[in-house]
Structure 1
Amino acid sequence: MNRILKEVLEHAESWPLEDQEELAEYAREIEARRTGVYTMSDDERAAVGKGLAEADRAEFVSDEQIAEADKRHDG
């Protein structure tokens, strides 16, 4: 590991958890770009699980809600 990276990681140990998680996310994105494999964070994994569970229960957004959102975003 090069000196600059070692220094950043040493400083990062004293950062707030939110900032450490942001740094980890950047690292995951770089690793995914280099290897073609993306590793989800725990939060992402939980969100996907929640979405799949909602789909299993057939909890979908109605066509009316989609149309209303389209109206708001079309300007």
Structure 2
Amino acid sequence: MLPEIADHAAAPLADFGASDTALLDVAFGCATPQGRLPFELPRSMAAVAASREDVPNDTEDPFFPAGHGLTL
């Protein structure tokens, strides 16, 4: 589901505990977005099933790899 949504979005936005104010500041251009994923996001459940559960970042061709994101 995520690949289908992200493929049609200009900029996918994920919130990992940010305040509403901080999220809206970024959405309306009052703050610069920044951050990196601490884990990868697999492309499908089949990729999850094929990966080793005891090895981090082990899926083949992840949709978003660990470390993907924005920095200043």
Structure number with larger C-alpha Rg:
1
Structure 1 and Structure 2 fold alike (TM over 0.5): no
- Higher relative CO (Cα under 8 Å, sequence separation at least 6) belongs to 2
Normalising by the smaller structure, the TM-score range is under 0.3
Normalising by structure 1, we get a TM-score of: 0.25
Report the structure, 1 or 2, having the larger strand content. 2
